[in-house]
Amino acid sequence: MWTKQQIEKLVAAQRTFFRGGRTYSIEWRILQLKRLRKAIAEHEEVMEDALYKDLGRSKAEAYFCDIGSVIAEINETIHGLKKWAKPETHYSGLVNFPSMVTRVYKLPYGTTLIISPFNFPFMLSLGVLTAAIAGGNTAVIKTSSKSFYSTEVLKKIIGETFPKKYIAVVDGGHDVADDCLNTRFDKIFYTGSPRVGVHVMEQAAKNLTPVALELGGENGNWCIVRKDANLRDAARKIAFFKLLNSGQVCININQVAVAKEVADRFIQLLKEEFVRQIGKDAVHNPEYPKLISNSAYCNCAKEVEKYRDRVVFGGQGDEETCKYAPTIIYPVKPTEDIVMHELFAPILPVVTFEDAKVKQLLSLIGKRESGLSLYLFTRDVKWAKHVMSRQQYGGGCINEVCVHLMVKGVPFGGLGHSGMGAYHGEWGFREFTHPSTVLIGNSVGNLPLREHPYTGKWNEYKLKLVKIFER
């Protein structure tokens, strides 16, 4: 068990290492990323085994969601880092004549803290670490105590690959997390719930430490299916997404709003898709993931019991294995409690709306806290693009689900109660660096425009020239 004194000693060692200057070298950073990639490849089987023990993941889902995505992130970063890190050159403007060149350097923060969750224990730790390394920082990864086996593998991977004075893994419960937060870092990256996000910000504020937050969204993520949508395609994709990691995904669909005109047909297709993809008895299908803990299972079961009279599919589980079947609850009003908070479980409430009144639905969603994602299914792509450019949310898809997360070169992040900051690829590099503007002065040909005196016959020209130059 880590103590506060041990954490402080670790951070002090990392700060000393950072000040030594080695991490400023771009070539050195790339070498560390290659070492990390090699270590992941060598530990692929034990990572898959840990994900199965922690979350009941199949090998395919383990690779797709956690392992392969990290490797892709590292590859993108290695390929683009030299370009991203190159100082920008800007024209200083006539007002600064004769000093005409200004540089913007992308500098590392220093010693960083990464607090990762249980649901994607490798992607949301090593993926963030990739950005931290790319930015030239040292890092302490505080892992979730819930994903025990994955944490053990992370400790092994990092311990065998990097010295603790550069990268280290800290395990333990909430008390250890608080000890980390009470230790001064130069940047904190937290992934988890809005409630804990508030606590992270409060602790970071004591040292004015900049924070990036990736949160699930207080009111959950909406999916809207209009009457003109390809219902079978929508049902297929929504079913896949709700089965993924047993619903324990921060960008997962929390509730789906379906046009009344097609609601019955959509629900029938959704049932068929759940059966086609996971079988009639999902709970005993070895490919179906489990909930992370008995507590998570009980919370899921308790939520379903509140709406037992409206369960139209699923509604049963196995407490011993912590598996709960994908469950459809229908109909649900948009003001009911189940759609007012993040579920983080394989439960899917179905809200209906009149297609002609979709604006009212969007207005209701817009009045609530911003979700981390938004999904629209419709053949009217023009309408969908308009909505996506007006609503407040982290990211999303039109006629698709979740895969916006996999696109290279684009940011991933939330806003408000779904987070702040963004990462992945170059955006991750930006999140873990701060831009420093430096004007390069010239000592030849200086004009006394900014100097006293400002009055007198020969000085009236100064203000006139400044007005011209600052246009």
Residues serving a catalytic function are 214, 250
Cα 221 to Cα 285: distance, rounded to the nearest angstrom: 27
Cα 459 to Cα 457: distance, rounded to the nearest angstrom: 6
- Report residue 434 CA to chain centroid gap: 19
Gyration radius of the chain's alpha carbons: 26
Angle at 310 between CA 309 and CA 313, to 5 degrees: 115
Cα 401 to Cα 119: distance, rounded to the nearest angstrom: 18
Closest of 333, 250, 248, 310 to residue 57, by C-alpha:
248
Q: Which contiguous run of DSSP H or E holds residue 186?
A: none
Start-to-end C-alpha separation, the chain = 61
Q: Report residue 99: phi and psi, to 5°.
A: -85, 90
CB distance 332 to 309 below 8 Å: no
CB distance 138 to 435 below 8 Å: no
b/e burial code for range 37-72 (CB count within 10 A of at least 16 → b) = bebbeebeeebbbbbbbbbbbbeebbbebbbbbbbe
